[in-house]
Structure 1
Amino acid sequence: MTPFRRRLLVLVTAVLLLAGLGTGVVLHAADRADRANRSQPGDPAVDSGQLTLRQKHRLAFVNAAAGPHRTALASVPSTDPGGGRTASDLKCARFYAAAGTGVCLQSVPGVLRQSNRALLLDSDLRTVRTFPLAGTPSRARVSPSGRFVAWTVFVSGESYSSAFFSTRTSVLDTRTMRLTPSVETFSINLAGEPYHASDVNFWGVTFAADDDTFYATLNTADRTYLVRGSLSRRSVTTLVQNVECPSLSPDGTRIAFKKRILSRTDLWHEYVLDLSTLRETPLAERRSVDDQATWLDNRTVAYALPTNGKVGGSDLWSVPADGTGTPRLLIADASSPAPL
C-alpha cells in the first residue's frame, strides 16, 4: 500500500468513527428526551395555555413534570399551588421575573457541546434580546422595578460543591441594554481594605428596590462572604462570612441564604439574616438546600429540593421566614419560582 493510500485509509476510518460517535450521542440524547417526555401515573396535570407576566396572584416556575411540557415555563394560582398548571411554549433551565420583565436561561444540548443563552423577555414572554452565556445556567434574578437583570453561570464545574469550579455573574441594564459581562470587574472592599485576588468568584445576585444596591456571594481563598454592592459605583463591600445565594425580602430588611454546615462539607441549611442587626435565624428546613431561595411574601420563602426517586428532578418547598413552623410541599416537579 502506498503512503498516500495509507493516509487516505486512516482519514476515512477516522471520519467513520466520528460519524458513529456523533450518531450515538444524538440517539442517546433522543432516547433520554423521549423518556423524559413520557408522562407517568400520578404526574400533575399540565395544559397548554396563555401565560403572561402581567397576570396577578400567580406563581410562575419551570415545570419539571415528565411529558411534553417538561422544562416549560408554567404557572399556578398563588392560592392553589398544587392545582393544575398552565404551561407556555417557552422552555428554560432557570427563570425569574419581576415588574413585567423576565429572564430565561436556556441550555440546549448539541452533538459536541451544549449551547447556553439568556433570553430577556417582555411581559408577553416575547424575546427582546438574546445573550450568549459563557457556561451552564445556575442563577437568575430581576430587580423589583424590572430594570436590572442578573444571571450566574458555571464556567467550569457543575455545582458549588465541586472541588474546582468557576462562576461568572453578569448584570444587564434593560433600559440602556448595557451589559456588565462579569461583576469581577467591580472593586472589592474586604474587612475595610481594598482587595484583589485571582480566585474571586461572584454568584447569586439579589436586587434592592432603589435600582442601585444589590447583594451577592463573594468567594475567595476558600471563604464565602455576603457583599453589598452599588451598580453605579461598580463596587462591593463584605458584610459577613458563610453566606451563599442571598435573596432579599420584599421589604428589603432581611436576606434568606444558604449556610454551609461544617467546613468542607456539601451540606447547606437555610437561614435568614436581619440586615440591621446581622442576626441569623435558622429556618425549620433541616435538609440540605442547594438553591437560591425566593420570597413568596415577607413571611415565607420557597426553595427547590431534589425529588425522591427521580434523577435530576426537583420539588418546590416553602417554610416560614421566622424560624417557626415546618416545611411544606409547595409544588411537586418544579423549580425557579417567581411570584407574579
Structure 2
Amino acid sequence: MMSTRVKLATVLASAVALGALAAGYAVGSAPRAAPAPAVDRAVTLRPGPRLLTVTDRHVSSAALADPTGPRAVSQQECLRVYAAAGTGICLAPSSPWSYQVVVLDAELRPVRRLDVPGLPNRARVSASGRMVSWTTFVGGDSYTSSGFSTRTGFLDTRTGAAVTTLEDFAIRLGGRPYRNADVNFWGVTFTGDDNVFYATMSSAGKRWLVRGDAGARTVTTVRENVECPSLSPDGTRIAFKEAVDADPAKGWRLSVLDLRTMGVTATAERASVDDQAAWLDGATLAYTLRQDDGRPDVWSVPADGTGEPRLLVPGAESPSPLT
C-alpha cells in the first residue's frame, strides 16, 4: 500500500491542470470503482452515524462504525454529493455533456434542479441544510495552462435565491478594492449563520482564502495559499489543501488552519490530496485519494498532525458525514 501511495503522490503532483482532472472525474475517463459489497436502495440523508459517499457514480452510505463493511447504494447518480440536516446536493449528469445541481430531500427525492456550465468539481451544504454550494470547471479563461476556469455558486433552499457566480462579488485584497478579469473562486464552506462563508480565490497566479458575506455580496482575503477550505464543526479551524512551496505543480499537503492564531498544522497524510476534505467530527478529516488506475478510495487522518492515514471506504469518493 505504501508504494502505491508514494506513486499516487507523484502522479497527482504532476497533474497541474486541475480542469483536466475534473474532466477525467466527470466523464469517466478514469476506470470506475467496483460496486459496493451489498446493494440496498434505501439510502437516506437523515442524520445518523453514517458516511455518505459516491460509489460507481451513485449515492451510497456506510456505517461509520464499519465503513469498509456492507454499503447501501441508491439509484441516484451523482458525480459529487454532500448532505447536512436532511438536505443534499448532487452534481448530476443531465446528458452526456451537461450537468445539473440537484437539491435532494432526506429520502433522495429531487426538490430543485439548476443547469450549470462545465464539469462538476466541489459541492457543499451548510450545517443547517439551508445553503447549498457548487463549483464546476469550465473552458475559456486562464485558470490553468489547460484553459480551464471555475464557476462557483450557491442557493438558498429556503428562499430560492441563487447566486450563479461569485465573480460578481466585490473583492477586498489586502484591505483594498480589487478587480481582475482572471479572478476565479472555488470550494465554498459555510459558517453556522448561513451567511458568512469561506472559499478560495485565485488571480494573477496566486490563491487566497477569502471570507465572504452572502448578503453584502463581498469577499475579503484572509490568507494566501489556502485551497478548498472546509470549516470545522466548531467554526475555529479550516482544513485545506496547501500547495507545496506555494506551487501546485509540486502537489498539495492536507493541512489545518487555526482561525484564531492563523497557525497551520500539516496532517500526517503525505500523499497529494486534491480534494475538499470533510470533517468526520471535531478531530478527524476524510478525503478522496485515487490509485494508479484512477480508482477512488476515501481515507481519514487526524486533524492535529498526529497518527497516520487510514483507509476508510474503498472504492468510493466525495465523503460527507451524516451525523
The C-alpha deviation readout for 1:165-202, integer Å capped at 9, x for no partner, is 20000110101111111011111010000111100000
Paired residue secondary structure (1:48): coil
* Counterpart in the other structure of 1:287: 271
Paired residue secondary structure (2:158): coil
The C-alpha deviation readout for 1:36-91, integer Å capped at 9, x for no partner, is 59x5xxx740312311111511111001xxxxxx2110111111111110111101
Shift >6 Å, 4+ stretches = none
2:69 to 72, 83, 87: 83
Give how far 1:243 is off.
0.5
Alpha carbons 2:188, 2:198 under 8 Å: kept? yes
Q: Distance in 1 between matches of 2:144 and 2:255?
A: 19
The C-alpha deviation readout for 1:120-161, integer Å capped at 9, x for no partner, is 11111110111101110000000111111100000128xx86
Query: What is the one-letter code of the residue matched to 1:243?
Result: V
Give how far 1:212 is off.
1.1
Q: Distance in 2 between matches of 1:131 and 1:281?
A: 38
* Counterpart in the other structure of 1:26: none
Give how far 1:107 is off.
2.8
Q: Distance in 2 between matches of 1:208 and 1:55?
A: 19
Q: Distance in 2 between matches of 1:56 and 1:126?
A: 18
* Counterpart in the other structure of 2:314: 332
Paired residue secondary structure (1:83): coil
Within 5 Å, give how 1:88-167 maps onto structure 2: 88-108=74-94, 110=96, 114-156=97-139, 163-167=146-150
2:52 to 22, 39, 60: 60
| Distance change (3 Å), C-alpha of 1:189 and 1:36 | closer
Within 5 Å, give how 1:1-340 maps onto structure 2: 44-63=36-55, 70-108=56-94, 110=96, 114-156=97-139, 163-262=146-245, 263=247, 265-308=249-292, 310-311=293-294, 313-340=295-322
Paired residue secondary structure (1:103): strand
Paired residue secondary structure (2:235): coil
Alpha carbons 1:226, 1:243 under 8 Å: kept? yes
| Distance change (3 Å), C-alpha of 1:290 and 1:180 | same
| Distance change (3 Å), C-alpha of 1:129 and 1:109 | closer
Paired residue secondary structure (1:118): strand
* Counterpart in the other structure of 2:8: none
Give how far 1:237 is off.
0.6
Alpha carbons 2:47, 2:84 under 8 Å: kept? no
Return the structure number with greater relative CO, CA threshold 8 A, min gap 6. Answer: 2
Q: Is there any run of 5+ residues in structure 1 with no aligned partner, and where? A: 1-31, 64-69
Query: What is the one-letter code of the residue matched to 1:287?
Result: A
| Distance change (3 Å), C-alpha of 1:297 and 1:108 | same
Q: Distance in 2 between matches of 1:129 and 1:251?
A: 30
* Counterpart in the other structure of 1:9: none
Q: Distance in 2 between matches of 1:75 and 1:161?
A: 34
Alpha carbons 1:205, 1:245 under 8 Å: kept? yes
Q: Is there any run of 5+ residues in structure 2 with no aligned partner, and where? A: 1-27
Q: Distance in 1 between matches of 2:184 and 2:68?
A: 37
Alpha carbons 2:47, 2:86 under 8 Å: kept? no
Q: Distance in 2 between matches of 1:97 and 1:121?
A: 9
Q: CA RMSD in A?
A: 1.9
Give how far 1:108 is off.
5.0
Q: TM-score, normalised by structure 1?
A: 0.82
Paired residue secondary structure (1:47): coil
Q: TM-score, normalised by structure 2?
A: 0.86
Paired residue secondary structure (1:146): coil
Query: What is the one-letter code of the residue matched to 2:253?
Result: H
| Distance change (3 Å), C-alpha of 1:295 and 1:199 | same
Identical columns (%): 51
Q: Distance in 1 between matches of 2:222 and 2:117?
A: 29
Q: Distance in 1 between matches of 2:68 and 2:145?
A: 34
